[in-house]
Amino acid sequence: SQQGEEDPQALSIQEGENATMNCSYKTSINNLQWYRQNSGRGLVHLILIRSNEREKHSGRLRVTLDTSKKSSSLLITASRAADTASYFCGGETSGSRLTFGEGTQLTVNP
Amino acid sequence: EAGVAQSPRYKIIEKRQSVAFWCNPISGHATLYWYQQILGQGPKLLIQFQNNGVVDDSQLPKDRFSAERLKGVDSTLKIQPAKLEDSAVYLCASSLEVYPEMGYTFGSGTRLTVV
């Protein structure tokens, strides 16, 4: 069963704009992770937020977590054409089991 | 630090044939995962190893899929016999539990096409 469910499925923006992707999950998690996947490649870890954290920053990335709503958001500020990729959230449960959603396809137009 | 190595990169087989994929995780990573990613979907966990023991194989179709991790390092995933719906990218990942902030490291995957 899928743990994460991303919204929107696809997002197209202009370079320099901010991109926001949302994720909802079903069961209790230890942490939530965001990954990027370029076409034909494996997933690349972006950021991890623990269940007792509410917000985390890393460079141009900002992640929030609301455990009461079982939801998370990923904000990419000042987007670049190189940010074009699919983005997946994954909830990690006890036993280090990471389950992903279907992803958001982000297109950043130059 | 070398990444997660997978081979082959691509494989085309006919249905009912068998196929095997190989994965070499990052040195020292005790946990190894195999994921199946069908085109347009998110990765789906097939099996999780901790060292050379299976932690979770609840999503592995055991009538046709098998996996092993001898000596707690390299791993192989086998499909026998393959079906058309097995066409997907098979991703291997590894992680180091003492540094969860680093997340999982994925290989580039093996793209399988069953015709």
Out of B55, B102, B109, name the one closest to residue A95 (CB).
B55
- Which residue, among A41, A94, A98, would best test binding to B if mutated, counting the most B CBs under 10 Å from its CB? A98
| Chain A interface includes B7 (CB < 8 A) | no
How far is residue B15 from each of residues A90, B10, B75, measured CA to CA in Å?
32, 16, 23
Residue B1 has pLDDT above 80, yes or no: no
* pLDDT tens for each residue of B65-105: 999 998 889 999 999 999 999 999 999 999 987 777 788 99
Residue A33 has pLDDT above 90, yes or no: yes
Can you tell me the mean pLDDT for A27-49?
93
Out of B41, B56, B97, name the one closest to residue A102 (CB).
B41
Can you tell me the mean pLDDT for A52-69?
96
For chain B, report the end-to-end CA distance as a whole number of angstroms.
Answer: 37
The answer to whether A100 contacts B43, with C-beta atoms less than 8 Å apart, is yes
Banded pLDDT at A4 (limits 50, 70, 90)? low
Length of chain A: 110
Average pLDDT of chain A, as a whole number: 92
Give the CB-side neighbour count of residue B8, counting CA atoms within 13 A. Answer: 9
Q: Name the residue with tokens 């919204």.
A: A7
| Chain A interface includes B97 (CB < 8 A) | yes
Tell me the three state secondary structure of residue A80.
Answer: coil
At residue B70, the pLDDT reads 82
The whole-angstrom separation of Cα A38 and Cα A84 is 8
The whole-angstrom separation of Cα B86 and Cα B68 is 19
Structure tokens at B12: 């085309």
CA neighbor of B33 nearest in space, from B3, B57, B62: B57
Average pLDDT of chain B, as a whole number: 93
* pLDDT tens for each residue of A69-102: 999 999 999 999 999 999 999 999 877 788 898 9
Out of B33, B101, B105, name the one closest to residue A48 (CB).
B101
| Chain A interface includes B46 (CB < 8 A) | no
Q: Where are the alpha helices (DSSP H) in chain A?
A: none
Cβ atoms < 10 Å from Cβ of B103:
23
CA neighbor of A46 nearest in space, from A108, A109, A103, A110: A103
* pLDDT tens for each residue of B10-66: 999 999 999 999 999 999 899 999 999 999 999 999 999 998 899 999 999 999 999
Out of A4, A45, A101, name the one closest to residue B104 (CB).
A45
| Chain B interface includes A48 (CB < 8 A) | yes
Query: Any residues with CB less than 8 A from the CB of B79 and at least 6 apart, and which?
Result: B18, B19, B20, B64, B65, B86, B112
At residue B31, the pLDDT reads 92
The answer to whether A42 contacts B48, with C-beta atoms less than 8 Å apart, is no
Banded pLDDT at A1 (limits 50, 70, 90)? very low
- Residue B57 C-alpha, separation from nearest chain A C-alpha, in angstroms: 11
The whole-angstrom separation of Cα B86 and Cα B36 is 9
- Which residue, among A43, A51, A63, A97, would best test binding to B if mutated, counting the most B CBs under 10 Å from its CB? A43
At residue B72, the pLDDT reads 83
